Amino acid sequence: MFPFLLVVHAIIAAALVTVILMQRSEGGGLGMGGSPSGLMSARGAADFLTRMTGILATAFVGLSIVLAVLASTHRSGSVD
């Protein structure tokens, strides 16, 4: 169970880094042009990326706590 959660944690971390790097520093989102409304407009993309950052960050912190608890209760000699 622990190795599986560790792999999921690494995937979430990589996705979080990707979503953060896709954001523009001035809050413009992906920096793409397009229609003035909708998901892929600058505002829609920024809102989506901001929401995804919050979701991924919450999942990352929650899974970090779960992994810490599992690691502290896991016996050092056994392998799952």
Residue-wise pLDDT for 29-48, tens only, equals 555 544 455 555 666 677 88
Q: What is the pLDDT along the chain (80 residues), one digit of tens a residue?
A: 889 999 999 999 999 999 999 887 764 555 554 445 555 566 667 788 889 999 999 999 999 999 999 999 876 655 55
Q: Which residues contact 48 (CB under 8 A, 6 or more apart)?
A: 29, 39
Q: What is the pTM of this model?
A: 0.70
- State both tokens at 5: 């959660």
Contacts of residue 43, defined as CB under 8 A and 6 or more positions apart, other chains included, come to 29
